[in-house]
Amino acid sequence: MMKLFLILMLVKTSYEDTVVITKTLKEELSVGTFVLDLKKETNLMNTSSNDFQWVAKEEFEQYFSLENGIIRINKRLDREQMCPGLVECLKRIRVMSKKTMLLITIDFSIEDINDNSPIFNISDMKTNISESAQLGVFYQLHPAEDLDSP
Instruction: State which of residues 115, 120, 133, 149 lies at the interface with Ca ion (CB under 5 A).
Output: 115
Sign of CA dihedral 94, 95, 101, 105: negative
Interface segment toward Ca ion; rule CB under 5 A; list 53-61, 68-76, 114-122, 137-145? 114-122
Instruction: Return the C-alpha torsion angle 81, 38, 32, 76, nearest 10.
Output: 0
Contacts with Ca ion, 58-97, as mask; x by CB under 5 A: --------------------xxx-----------------
Residues 6+ apart with CB under 8 A from 58: 93
Helix (H/G/I), strand (E/B), else coil: 79: helix
Q: Does 111 bind Ca ion (CB under 5 A)?
A: no
Q: Does 112 bind Ca ion (CB under 5 A)?
A: yes
Residue placing its CB nearer to Ca ion in the complex, 51 or 80: 80
